[in-house]
Chains A and B, each alone.
Chain A
Amino acid sequence: MSKAHVQTTINGEQTEFLCEPRQSLLEVLRETLGFTGTKEGCNDGNCGACSVTVDGVLIDSCLMLAVEADGVEIGTVEGLATPESLHPLQQKFLEHAALQCGICTPGFLVASKALLDHNPDPSEYEVRHWLAGNLCRCTGYDKIVRAVLDAAQEVRASA
């Protein structure tokens, strides 16, 4: 199978790669480009562990072909922190103990960031509704929702 040449932007950096047409964006991010922060939980779009943003839109990267990444901007968990500091969402997840095994955490962080970019002052219901596509089996979600609401407040305060 001959490979496609794809040019894309990931976390603000221009990147290019070769891939087979049958490879998902998730597979290429992890195996070809080394962005293993994005996780595979189900590979059929039901758990959200592979959440990334594409031109600001939240998607499951297991449901997108890598060739579709050509010319778009992809955001992964690796793009949340700066060299100086963690993103408030990451910091609040740590403070609230909103992770136990941590495998769903990158997906939740990317999804939560997309929420706050879209709605900086969500209610608890709006947080739960937005994050319903991200499954967590360890926490029961309570501390995750609290962390997101707390981070939203902090982001609003520093804006």
Chain B
Amino acid sequence: MSSGNGYKVIGTRPIRHDGVDKVTGRAVYGGDTRLPGLLYGQVLRSPHAHAHIKSIDTAKAVALPGVKAVLTGADLPEAGDTIVDLGEGPARLKYMSDNVLATDKVLYSGHPVAAVCATSVHIAEEALDLIEVEYEVLESVLNVREAMQEGAPQLHADMTTQEFGEDTGKTSNLATHFQHKLGDPDQAFASADVVIEREFQTATVHQGYIEPHNATAMWNSDGQITIWTSTQGSFTARAQTGAVLDVPVSKIKVVPQEIGGGFGGKIPIYLEPIAALLSKASGQPVKLIMTRPAVFESTGPTPGSYVKIKMGANKDGKIVAADAYIAFESGAYPGGLVGAAAMCVFSCYDIADGLIDCYDVVLNKPRSFAYRAPGSTQVAFATEHVVDLLAAELGIDPLEFRLKNSATTGTRRIDGVVYPKMGCKEVMEAIRDSDHYKSAAPSGSNQGRGISVGYWFNVGLQSACTASVNSDGTVSLTEGSTDIGGSRTSIAMQFAETLGLTAEDVKPQVVDTDSIGHTDVTGGSRVTYATGWAAYKAALDVQEQLCARAAQLWEIEADQVKFEDGTFSSGDKSYTFKELAGHLDETGGPVIGRATVNPDSGVGGSFAANIADVEVDPETGKVQVLRFTVIQDAGRAIHPSYVEGQMQGGSAQGIGWALNEEYYYSDNGHLDNSSYLDYRIPTCLDLPMIETIIVEVPNPGHPYGVRGVGEANIAPPPAAMANAIGNAVGVRPQELPMKPGRIVAALATGG
């Protein structure tokens, strides 16, 4: 069964290798970890958004029967001034360590201050109530623009603003400021026929994965620490834990369990060092699982933002200038996510002159962290709104306007990067050619259609892969990319394609940090691309070795053996892969293929687009999604079902972000809606079927043309929804979420 694209395996839809375990409930996720003598831990968290910790008295907790150990921040090693790599960017160790357990201050409601382990989770919870913490409550700040102002409560007395490698020496809540400038935007704006400027705000939203964070640790008496955890990166979890505990990585083994969703939020560590230290103190393995409220209150949501966009165009429909002012909430500690926003804000368009001015601001919310194409959604919401307004002002169809200004191969972005081969224009053309777009826009009252485009640059980073040939011609493939969405199968498929095997002949395993070479995070849309590449190279290694083995059997030179279509041949002699695998023992023993990658170039990048049809109820402000299409450039879809799945999943998250999701804080800085009841993510009743159109502009930087698809699809939905609402009822919101009350209020004031 081939896919008709010239490949035998790539493009087909085999059942995923871990599928049966997952549908029978046998797959072991982090929370399912069971060990003899297991103790259960829980974490005490600050009720205050900003406070000095004056004292912590744990005596009563320690005395509670069943409690085996109690920890506070004082039990973590001194962090000093070290900088560590979090897996996708740098961080100060002190910030990381204080976020695990606070030392002198708490900086957000939910900030961990102490931890306990006991013979049952209920006793651990009772023990938390017995810990006495004395706080000196300070004034808090919860809004990004307020936090930037003179006189705002300052979170870090010693944090100075960094301006691109220069320490300005100024202390405030502004962690970083940088700019990108191309050409002469002032002059270009002056010469534009039309200039439109708008301001936008987006609320803090959370990745919302259904599985809470978890970690189980055993600190053996020989100093070896084993950690079982649901993580997006075993190696980064090991590195971060080692840094916080001041323990060499060789002493730590991270055993990744199956993971129940991440979207970027399970890259940073929260529980691992706590579990390890509790294990050390108690002498037994300790498991911690975050409560759902703690997941919302204490783990990294995506930055809320203030974005101002100004764009200028000429009567002929060409965009001539673009400015962006982007201020991102970084949460309690500096984060750096605004850099990615800068790369995405005008990424879909060819604009010769522009300025992007970016600010990373700390405030009293949990430390922001990556959420699927972090930063891209916030700026797409802003840019795509202004693009629609410009088109309307110029009397040009919004899709034609986008096509006319589309970025293409060779376009230089305002941040200076020149695009290699990519599919921005093809994705826009796919909007035009889609059934959805060709069908009449819904014309009932309060109905409308909107479109939008978005981008994510993707990353490469390091991956390793080893392949062991079994005597029956199957292959055991080991890799280190934890599988959040079916990637182990896509990796196996690329290996299989290379050697003429079936996907079922290759058995992929995700293994621990002692069993595979360094593999970077499952994130950044990199796994199918980079780990797939490593699998491809490992397959080539196997191929070369097997040619040599065939040569031995035929008593000829290895370079006289050809490999094609799963068969090794020389003249009229041939072996299939399976036949040759049966002869390994007599030709030198086992065959192991191996490969590592760390691509310096060729990552590509993925563009995505949406067409959204909506109906707005003018009385309640509720927005119903009538029809939704997502289009994305996958380069080459290895397993189309899972590519479609990524596209649909990102769309659903984007729709939730557009219509309902937000962190709702009371004035004292407490997160009031830390449950799935009140943090309202889409249910299946809220969504229609999500139509998918996979565009393939193969990535020349990958042996099979792969572009990572995990992320770009979350960028366009809020913008498409806003443009659809605008076309439906004449108000186009500039604030997320576009919740019912906000729509009703906008309709009342007329915008």
Listed stretches B248-256, B325-333, B459-467, B685-693; interface member: B685-693
In the bound complex, do residue B210 and residue A86 qualify as a contact, i.e. CB atoms below 8 Å apart? no
Digit string of A108-129 for contact with B (CB within 8 Å is 1, else 0)? 0100000000000000100111
**Alpha-carbon separation in the docked complex, A151 to B210 (Å):** 25
Closest to B291 in A: A43
**Alpha-carbon separation in the docked complex, A134 to B485 (Å):** 18
How many residues of B sit at the interface, in one of the four size bands? 35 or more
Digit string of A137-152 for contact with B (CB within 8 Å is 1, else 0)? 1111111111000000
In the bound complex, do residue A103 and residue B649 qualify as a contact, i.e. CB atoms below 8 Å apart? no
Q: A94-B16, A137-B210, A143-B645 are in contact. Are A42 and B292 (CB under 8 A)?
A: yes
In the bound complex, do residue B25 and residue A37 qualify as a contact, i.e. CB atoms below 8 Å apart? yes
Partner among B20, B211, B648 whose Cβ is within 8 Å of the Cβ of A39: B211
Q: A86-B24, A138-B261 are in contact. Are A131 and B684 (CB under 8 A)?
A: yes
Q: Does B1 contact A (CB under 8 A)?
A: no
Partner among A23, A93, A128, A135 whose Cβ is within 8 Å of the Cβ of B681: A135
**Alpha-carbon separation in the docked complex, A135 to B210 (Å):** 8
Q: Does B170 contact A (CB under 8 A)?
A: no
Q: How far is the CB of A22 from chain B (nearest CB, A)?
A: 6
Q: Does B573 contact A (CB under 8 A)?
A: no
**Alpha-carbon separation in the docked complex, A55 to B481 (Å):** 41
**Alpha-carbon separation in the docked complex, A34 to B32 (Å):** 9
Residues on A with C-beta less than 8 A from B410 are none
Partner among B122, B484, B675 whose Cβ is within 8 Å of the Cβ of A22: B122
Q: How far is the CB of B293 from chain A (nearest CB, A)?
A: 9
**Alpha-carbon separation in the docked complex, A136 to B648 (Å):** 12
Q: How far is the CB of A138 from chain B (nearest CB, A)?
A: 5
Q: Does B653 contact A (CB under 8 A)?
A: yes
In the bound complex, do residue B15 and residue A100 qualify as a contact, i.e. CB atoms below 8 Å apart? no
Q: Does A132 contact B (CB under 8 A)?
A: yes
**Alpha-carbon separation in the docked complex, A39 to B20 (Å):** 17
**Alpha-carbon separation in the docked complex, A54 to B646 (Å):** 34
Residues on A with C-beta less than 8 A from B720 are none
In the bound complex, do residue A44 and residue B292 qualify as a contact, i.e. CB atoms below 8 Å apart? yes
Binding site secondary structure of chain B: loop
User: B427-461: which residues lie under 8 A (CB-CB) from chain A?
Assistant: none
Partner among A23, A34, A44, A128 whose Cβ is within 8 Å of the Cβ of B684: A128
In the bound complex, do residue A39 and residue B645 qualify as a contact, i.e. CB atoms below 8 Å apart? no
Q: How far is the CB of A142 from chain B (nearest CB, A)?
A: 5
Q: Does A99 contact B (CB under 8 A)?
A: yes
How many residues of A sit at the interface, in one of the four size bands? 35 or more
Residues on B with C-beta less than 8 A from A39 are 29, 31, 210-211, 260
In the bound complex, do residue B25 and residue A144 qualify as a contact, i.e. CB atoms below 8 Å apart? no
Residues on B with C-beta less than 8 A from A143 are 641, 644-645, 648
User: A53-96: which residues lie under 8 A (CB-CB) from chain B?
Assistant: 76-78, 80-81, 86, 90, 93-96
Q: A94-B23, A101-B211, A102-B258 are in contact. Are A132 and B685 (CB under 8 A)?
A: yes
**Alpha-carbon separation in the docked complex, A146 to B684 (Å):** 12
Q: Does B13 contact A (CB under 8 A)?
A: yes
Residues on B with C-beta less than 8 A from A106 are 23, 25
Partner among A41, A97, A124, A140 whose Cβ is within 8 Å of the Cβ of B486: A97
Q: A41-B212, A129-B685, A135-B683 are in contact. Are A100 and B485 (CB under 8 A)?
A: yes
Q: How far is the CB of A20 from chain B (nearest CB, A)?
A: 7
Q: Does B736 contact A (CB under 8 A)?
A: no
Residues on A with C-beta less than 8 A from B261 are 101, 103, 137-138
**Alpha-carbon separation in the docked complex, A101 to B21 (Å):** 12
Residues on B with C-beta less than 8 A from A23 are 122
- Of residues A94, A134, A137, A143, which shows the largest number of chain B Cβ atoms within 10 Å of its Cβ? A137
- Of residues B16, B27, B263, B684, which shows the largest number of chain A Cβ atoms within 10 Å of its Cβ? B684
In the bound complex, do residue A36 and residue B28 qualify as a contact, i.e. CB atoms below 8 Å apart? yes
Residues on A with C-beta less than 8 A from B676 are 41-42, 44, 46-47, 135
**Alpha-carbon separation in the docked complex, A104 to B258 (Å):** 13
Residues on A with C-beta less than 8 A from B16 are 94, 97
Q: Does B289 contact A (CB under 8 A)?
A: yes
Residues on A with C-beta less than 8 A from B648 are 139-143
- Of residues B24, B28, B652, which shows the largest number of chain A Cβ atoms within 10 Å of its Cβ? B24
**Alpha-carbon separation in the docked complex, A104 to B27 (Å):** 12
Q: Does B157 contact A (CB under 8 A)?
A: no
Residue contacts A-B, CB under 8 angstroms, 18 given = A30-B31, A37-B26, A39-B29, A39-B210, A46-B677, A94-B20, A96-B641, A97-B13, A97-B642, A97-B645, A99-B23, A101-B210, A103-B29, A103-B211, A106-B23, A131-B685, A132-B685, A139-B649
Among all A-B residue pairs, the 3 with the closest Cβ atoms:
A37-B25, A103-B260, A140-B652
Residues of A within 8 A of B (CB): 20, 22-23, 27, 30, 34-44, 46-47, 49, 76-78, 80-81, 86, 90, 93-97, 99-106, 109, 124, 127-129, 131-146
Known: A41-B211, A76-B25, A128-B685. 16 other contacts (CB 8 A): A30-B32, A41-B210, A41-B292, A46-B676, A47-B676, A94-B20, A97-B16, A100-B486, A100-B645, A104-B210, A131-B685, A136-B210, A137-B263, A140-B652, A140-B687, A143-B645
